[in-house]
Amino acid sequence: DATKRGYDHFMLKEIHEQPHAVRQSIQGRIPDSREYVALDEFEPGEFDDVRDVQFVACGTSYHAALYARQFLLDRGIPSNVHSAGEYATNPPPLEEDTLVIGVTQSGETADTLASLRYAQAAGARTLAVTNVVGSTAAREFDDALFIRAGPEIGVAATKTFSSQVVTLALLSEVLTRDRTGSYSDQLDTLLAGLQALPDQFESLLGTNEVSHLLESYRGQDAYFFIGRAEGYPVALEGALKFKEITYEHAEGFAAGELKHGPLALVGPKTPVFAVFTGRNVEKTLGNVQEVKARGAPVIGITHQDHDKVTAVVDDVLPIPAAAPCLRGLLANVQLQLVSYHVADALGRDIDKPRNLAKSVTVE
Ligand code: G6P
């Protein structure tokens, strides 16, 4: 199977393509000076009347939108993220100064298209953020922004998540500029962080840190994933990937929600993956102590030499010390590898998991 280029599965190939995918996503969009963002799709001031942003998306794209909301939140831009299946049937109020952003890798997901069509008919501004240039989403709405990840074959989305988040990070600065008249004071940190990201992906992918975990955590009752801020969508995405391709029970939670229900399920046979991005570390460590007290083994995903975390957790999946707002992307790669290797050990049909489709074109 020549197109897998020596990898056993498209998913593994696409995980390893992430450095390239992100390079493509930022190509020509970050000037050497790092003083502005060059998203040539948009005229300066084009979004100056946008007061409110609503994201609509499904699956992994929904998690990318949740991650993107953190960029807007950090820049003081009000936004909400909606599951497109809900939005299409139960839409919130929206005005002409609402920007509705449909995040869809394929550009063909029926629920996302229906949501964007609703928003367009209601007079809102619509923007499709997609990977496929000729897709319905790219053609039908006010604007299209391409994530340039390259074709993704594996049903479980991997590299497109990274490219979506990176592209939406750039968009968050464009929205800030149009809204306030200048880029945010985080511009240089963000752009430098994005420029460094492909090499950090490469160094992470060059070490195979997950394989030693497989034996220890085989045959458990369930697998839980927790995180805060940008670590929260990564926890959701980690759990989604895990259940999609391993068929094991996995759930992701906002770390603070654990004590409002999920804790009742926690015990020695429910490993917990805790995502640390550098934000709210003490709070998440508090949640880790809660699950440890009930006997659950904890795997911390954290930047290297983060002694506070490594002292408490049972195992560590290390990530490079990237810009804190981008560490979630590196943590996500570690979790992609965990899912992949567990599914592979279980002999699952990784590229075509049962009951799932790459693109869901029915509502
Ligand atoms: C399907 C795929 C997922 C994907 C979701 C949204 O469920 O299996 O991997 O995240 O659709 O797809 P989209 O093309 O809209 O990003």
Residue-wise pLDDT for 230-251, tens only, equals: 999 999 999 999 999 999 999 9
Mean pLDDT over 147-166 rounds to 96
CA distances from 191 to 147, 198, 303 (A): 16, 12, 20
Give the active site residues: 358
Centre of ligand 1 to C-alpha 361, Å, is 10
What pLDDT score does 72 carry? 98
CA-nearest residue, atom 5 of ligand 1: 59
Asked whether this complex has an ipTM greater than 0.85, the answer is yes
What pLDDT score does 14 carry? 97
- Among 105, 242, 339, residue to substitute to test ligand 1 (most atoms within 8 Å of Cβ): 105
| b/e map 298-320, b = 16+ CB within 10 Å | bbbbbbeebeebeeebbbbbbbb
What pLDDT score does 67 carry? 98
Average pLDDT, the chain: 95
CA distances from 201 to 126, 226, 244, 291, 333 (A): 32, 22, 23, 30, 8
Which residue carries 């280029």 as its tokens? 5
Q: Which residues line ligand 1 (CB under 6 A)?
A: 58-61, 104-106, 109, 112, 155-157, 356-360
Residue 214 clears pLDDT 80, i.e. is over it:
no
- Among 359, 361, 362, 363, residue to substitute to test ligand 1 (most atoms within 8 Å of Cβ): 359
Q: Give percent of the chain above pLDDT 70.
A: 99
What pLDDT score does 60 carry? 98
